[in-house]
């Protein structure tokens, strides 16, 4: 069985290597495990994020780290005039995503392509909104990814980050900790082709900044009117920020030390 180093010990390069290995092997049962391990809450969380995109008629959305395209599909269904572009570094995940897009009859409105969140392959202001679901945790440079999402979003548009976070309501904290540390890795050993990926998952959730800290990281990346919404007692958060109508002078080049 594979083993990955603890997230706290990873530098930017080794973090990217671990993430690449995790998602190169995750695709065969990725969707099934997502549903099971989140008690199907992931579907509702993405629907909530899609609702908050507030896309204009015929709006354009960028879904960063689209994986198997669940957020792209939820957004396209919620906003029937919208067109969605999904990018991801893992071709295996994209292949599965393309199959789902075709099965859902959405090939005319959703396009998936290779692309890195840290160097998004589109010009400034190309989209009405940019979103990422369960991807931010995996980026070695989160402020850099946020600045890229803000860059490709038109002034006034939204940047949305949906992420699992270990900042639950007090009464939920102990059981959620046991679930992440013990039960999730145990279930993954039974069900996943790469159980170590789920040990990484639990570790990366527990190390993700709390909602206030992440809101501050978004502000420092140049986003305005930042707000966050707790989902399922704080097991996940949706963060939403706006690209200022008049862009301020560039945000600090390296954001915060949290980037690694």
As a whole number of angstroms, the distance between CA 117 and CA 89 comes to: 8
What tokens appear for 229 in the block? 């919404």
CB of 161 to ligand SAM, least distance (A): 11
Tell me the residue ranges of DSSP E strands in 12-109: 60-64, 83-88
As a whole number of angstroms, the distance between CA 92 and CA 178 comes to: 31
Phi and psi angles of residue 161, each rounded to the nearest 5 degrees, phi first: -130, 115
CB of 171 to ligand SAM, least distance (A): 27
Contact residue for ligand SAM among 38, 89, 153, 165 (CB under 6 A): 89
Q: Find the part of the chain contacting ligand SAM (CB under 6 A) among 115-123, 171-179, 183-191, 227-235.
A: 115-123
Q: CB-hemisphere CA count at 13 Å for 214?
A: 28
Contact residue for ligand SAM among 50, 93, 110, 240 (CB under 6 A): 93
Looking at beta carbons only, is 100 or 245 nearer to ligand SAM?
100
Instruction: By CB under 6 A, tell whether 118 contacts ligand SAM.
Output: yes
**Count of residues engaged in binding ligand SAM, rule: CB under 6 A:** 19
Contact residue for ligand SAM among 38, 59, 76, 88 (CB under 6 A): 88
Contact residue for ligand SAM among 4, 79, 127, 134 (CB under 6 A): 134
Q: Are the C-beta atoms of 208 and 166 separated by less than 8 Å?
A: yes
Instruction: By CB under 6 A, tell whether 238 contacts ligand SAM.
Output: no
What tokens appear for 78 in the block? 């919620």
Partners of residue 153 on adjacent β-strands: 127
Instruction: By CB under 6 A, tell whether 138 contacts ligand SAM.
Output: yes
| 38-77 footprint of ligand SAM as x/- string (CB under 6 A) | ---------------------------xxx--xx------
Instruction: By CB under 6 A, tell whether 90 contacts ligand SAM.
Output: yes
Partners of residue 164 on adjacent β-strands: 236
As a whole number of angstroms, the distance between CA 15 and CA 52 comes to: 30
Q: Are the C-beta atoms of 82 and 157 separated by less than 8 Å?
A: no
Looking at beta carbons only, is 17 or 244 nearer to ligand SAM?
17
As a whole number of angstroms, the distance between CA 109 and CA 84 comes to: 6
Residues that bind ligand SAM (CB under 6 A): 19, 23, 65-67, 70-71, 88-90, 93, 116-118, 133-135, 138-139
């Amino acid at each position: 069985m594979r083993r990955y180093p603890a997230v706290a010990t990873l530098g930017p390069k080794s973090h990217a290597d671990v993430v690449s290995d995790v998602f190169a092997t995750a695709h065969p049962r990725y969707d099934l495990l997502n549903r099971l391990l989140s008690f199907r809450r992931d579907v509702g969380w993405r629907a909530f994020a899609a609702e908050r995109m507030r896309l204009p008629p015929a709006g354009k959305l960028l879904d960063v780290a689209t994986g198997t395209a669940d957020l792209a599909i939820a957004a396209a269904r919620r906003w029937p005039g919208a067109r969605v572009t999904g990018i991801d570094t893992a071709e295996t995940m994209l292949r599965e995503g393309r199959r789902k897009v075709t099965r859902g009859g959405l090939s005319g409105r959703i396009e998936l392509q290779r692309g890195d969140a840290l160097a998004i392959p589109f010009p400034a202001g190309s989209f009405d909104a940019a979103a990422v679901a369960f991807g931010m945790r995996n980026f070695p440079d989160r402020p850099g990814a946020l600045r890229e999402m803000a860059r490709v979003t038109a002034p006034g548009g939204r940047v949305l980050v949906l992420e699992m976070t270990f900042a639950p309501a007090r009464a939920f904290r102990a059981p959620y900790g046991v679930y992440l540390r013990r039960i999730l890795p145990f279930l993954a050993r039974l069900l996943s082709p790469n159980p170590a990926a789920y040990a990484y998952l639990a570790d990366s959730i527990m190390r993700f900044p709390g909602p206030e800290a992440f809101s501050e990281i978004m502000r420092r990346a140049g986003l305005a009117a930042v707000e966050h919404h707790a989902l399922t007692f704080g097991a996940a958060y949706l963060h939403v920020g706006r690209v200022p109508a008049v862009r301020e002078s560039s945000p600090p080049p390296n954001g915060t030390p949290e980037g690694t």
